[in-house]
Structure 1
């Protein structure tokens, strides 16, 4: 097999398709990373000695801080389960059981702590923002107020439409309920009419002495109690 050529014109060796790594390049990257970590540890220690909080230094690519345009819906997490790595319950660093911030690699045990963290300077620096808000102009303020006013008007119109639709749906449901009651009442009346016609037919064919079911129940009960009649005696 070694004498035959491969599909590429030459025999394939054992290491031809293996990825080759540049050890010098990876050594340089590791040295650079270690130097950066050492510098960060030094800056953290100096900030701690000065009684200040350490923040990631800016590199000039940060943008101004803007308001969040989405709300945090924590109700979706109720009743759910998530897998966490071993030892995740110790400390805040890394992914653990709770609310995880992937930008800062921190986990918080309550939603209030998580929201407070997203508003902190530490998180702002981690997502590439300066923590400073640009001052809006008068035209932008007027445009924002106008947009909010239009939104409120739309919500009012939607509410009116929704109320009208609910009233119409309720009206239809009430009409259906009345129709169902009329149908049941007509069925009951028709059943009584048929039973009455059947009783009259039986009496016509067999005479008045025939006993119809339920017709003489009251007389039979009075006879069983010893009452044969409530006749009166005329005085002489």
Structure 2
């Protein structure tokens, strides 16, 4: 095999495996991008001079703004941690520590700023919305009111059921507490009665001089201190 040949029977070259790029095509794309950026800078400057806020121009593919059908649960983020790129804590631009908007490439430090941003025209334009809402018909308004009314009635019924259940549970708990107190009281009475019966039985079998545990502790303590009695010592 020749040193300049290849395994497939064709001469090998240094650049045969590399992808070929159309330089003229990429130059045209770069020129279009630069022209668009120049137009945007001009529009931003004109809006600033007129005291207005610049918004991305619409291209006709936007849709009407609709209400969010998902609820953002911020409470689940409490006590969690997330990894952010190095140097991302400076400014709002880019992904950083906080609430990140992927459509606008902005990060907000609190949920109030994030909610206000999602309702702003800047965000609506970036997600492909016009910022205008469709005017509802009278039938749709009536249907919406009826749905809200039904949901409110269901919520009230659930509250009534829940309150009734809570009262029943509390009643059962109170009954169990009273039963437990009665049981402990009966056990204490039975224990005292058994102790008295045992003491009486011992005295009956061995006489009155039998010392019951704890019965003469006070007399023994007085005797240990040297007090034999408090009778009168006066001579007749």
Deviation of the 1:73 alpha carbon = 3.2
The separation in 2 between residues aligned to 1:65 and 1:221, in whole angstroms, is 93
Equivalence for 1:118: 118
Work out whether residues 98 and 108 of structure 1, in 8 Å CA contact, stay in contact via their aligned partners in 2.
yes
Equivalence for 1:102: 102
Equivalence for 2:22: 24
Work out whether residues 117 and 123 of structure 1, in 8 Å CA contact, stay in contact via their aligned partners in 2.
yes
1:140 aligns with 2:147: no
Range 71-80 or range 30-39, more displaced: 30-39
Equivalence for 2:180: 180
Equivalence for 2:41: 41
Equivalence for 1:51: 51
RMSD: 3.1
Query: Do the aligned partners of residues 22 and 52 (structure 1) sit closer, same or farther apart at CA in structure 2, a change above 3 Å counting?
Result: farther
Superposed counterparts of 1:210-221, under 5 Å: 210-217=210-217
Deviation of the 1:77 alpha carbon = 3.0
Question: Residue deviations 1:77-100, cap 9 Å, x none?
Answer: 333333222222322211122221
Query: Do the aligned partners of residues 20 and 173 (structure 1) sit closer, same or farther apart at CA in structure 2, a change above 3 Å counting?
Result: farther
Range 186-195 or range 110-119, more displaced: 110-119
The separation in 1 between residues aligned to 2:203 and 2:89, in whole angstroms, is 90
Superposed counterparts of 1:5-16, under 5 Å: none
Query: Do the aligned partners of residues 225 and 47 (structure 1) sit closer, same or farther apart at CA in structure 2, a change above 3 Å counting?
Result: farther
The separation in 2 between residues aligned to 1:113 and 1:39, in whole angstroms, is 30
Range 90-99 or range 44-53, more displaced: 44-53
* Gap runs ≥5 in structure 2: 1-7, 10-16
Equivalence for 2:198: 198
Range 93-102 or range 144-153, more displaced: 93-102
Superposed counterparts of 1:67-82, under 5 Å: 67-82=67-82
The separation in 1 between residues aligned to 2:178 and 2:160, in whole angstroms, is 27
Query: Do the aligned partners of residues 42 and 182 (structure 1) sit closer, same or farther apart at CA in structure 2, a change above 3 Å counting?
Result: same
Instruction: Pick one of 220, 223, 229 that aligns with 1:226.
Output: 229
Range 51-60 or range 134-143, more displaced: 51-60
Work out whether residues 222 and 228 of structure 1, in 8 Å CA contact, stay in contact via their aligned partners in 2.
no
**TM-score normalised according to structure 2 size:** 0.77
SS in 2 for 1:107: strand
Equivalence for 1:84: 84
**TM-score normalised according to structure 1 size:** 0.77
